[in-house]
Each structure stands twice: as structure tokens, then as C-alpha cells.
Amino acid sequence: MPDPTRFAGQTVIVTGAARGIGEGIATRFAADGAKVLLVDLIPEVEETAARLGQKAFTCDVTARGAGEAIAKAALAAFGRIDVLVNNAGIGGSKKLLDSDDDLIERIIDTDLSAVLRVTRAVVPHLPQPGGRIVNISSTFGLTGYPGTTAYAVAKAGIAQFTRQLSGELGPSGIRVNAVAPGVIQTPMTMAHRENPFYMRVVVDPIPLERMGEPADIAGPVAFLASEDAAFVTGVVLPVDGGYLAARHGKL
């Protein structure tokens, strides 16, 4: 449950925060007492931030210098940065042989390369010790699913980036973890949820017998950013209703 004192006095950057999982994460941090900078490419981020009583910054995370601009905006708004949540990402992936150069480049740049660049720019401003980074990977980055090649590779890269960076930044007291969502009901997954094959192969075998909601991801992200996880770093936590652990057909 939200605790308005949990992140009191702390500031959080959430990318891709206008809607979907990012909106859910920003909502949870705000409810837990944090000051939040919501970052997104779409103007809707202003409305989401205003509804939460927080700050917005409209920015394309793939643009060169975006990380520096995001850090500058957060420092101007709050004077400090305690937590970075790398959530911004896109879907639309296809089978490799159906993927042209533009599609591969767009997905890898948005879902992986931009995360590295934004993180590189923000890390110098995190408290050392005490800074926290939470990345958003995917169950598709931890297991195979046909037709999502570039996306799956990018999200697998996020999982490895999390492990790699936890080793690099651990000595300075910065913790780095990730959440790997399963099927979450967001605008980005709507087209998949209209695909009978996807529903049969990915949704029906979920042991908890439901799809997730953005709030189901926001809670674990808040946990990993909290003092309750003070000795947790380098973890990629699946939040998928049990899909990776024990997916099964209906009996």
C-alpha cells in the first residue's frame, strides 16, 4: 500500500511516464511522497503530471543530449536526483526476416541505447552512496517469443545492463535493479491482446489467470527503490503472474 512518508524529500525521474506502466510508476512514487519528474515524448505527459501535482518534461529520450537535458530539468525543478526509472520504450517488433533496418534501429535505440545514454548522464547527479536506478526489462527479454526479435533483444540487453551496472556502481553505493513485466494492460499491448495466438500462448498459461495492471509493476519498482531493498542490487525481477516460473495450459 502507498506510504506518503516512504520517499518524502526524495526526487524521482520516470521516463515514458505519460501513460501505461510509466504513468503507474509515477503515480505510485507520488503517492509515496516523492517529487517526480515525468518524462515523455508525447504532450499528454503534461496532463498526467498536472493530475499528480508533479513536474513534466517533454523529451525524446533517443535524441542526442536527452540524458543531460533530463538531468538538468530535474535539478532545476527539485535541486537533486535520488532515483532514475528507465521505463520509456516502444513495441512494434516483428520477426527478424520481416524487420527492415529502420525498424531494428528504432527499437534498439529507444529500448536499449537510449537507456544507456540517459543513465550515463544522470548517474553523476545521484547521491553516492544512496542513488538508485530501476530499469524496465520484459519477460520477452528473458525467454523467447516468436515475432518480437528486436524488442526481445533490446529487453535482454536491459537485463544484462542492469547486472553489469550493478557491479560498476556498487562500490559507489548506487543500487541498480530491474523489473521484467509480463503481459500488462496498457495501450502498447492492446494490439497483441487482440491476437488470438498471443492470448492462447502468452496470456492463457499465466498461473494467476489474469493480465497485469500498471499498478502491479509500480509496487515492485517502488520496493526496489526503497530502503526495504537496501541490500538488493543486480536483480532482474519478473512480475508476470508466474508465467516464466510455471506457465501451463488449462486443465
Three-class secondary structure of residue 85 per DSSP: strand
188 by Cβ neighbours in 10 Å (0-12 / 13-18 / 19+) ranks as middle
Cα–Cα separations (whole angstroms), residue 44 to 13, 18, 246: 17, 6, 38
151 is catalytic: yes
Contact 239, 181 (CB under 8 A): yes
- Catalytic entry in 145, 151, 198, 243: 151
Which of helix, strand or coil describes residue 43? Answer: coil
**C-alpha span between 25 and 8 (Å, rounded):** 16
| Residues designated catalytic | 151
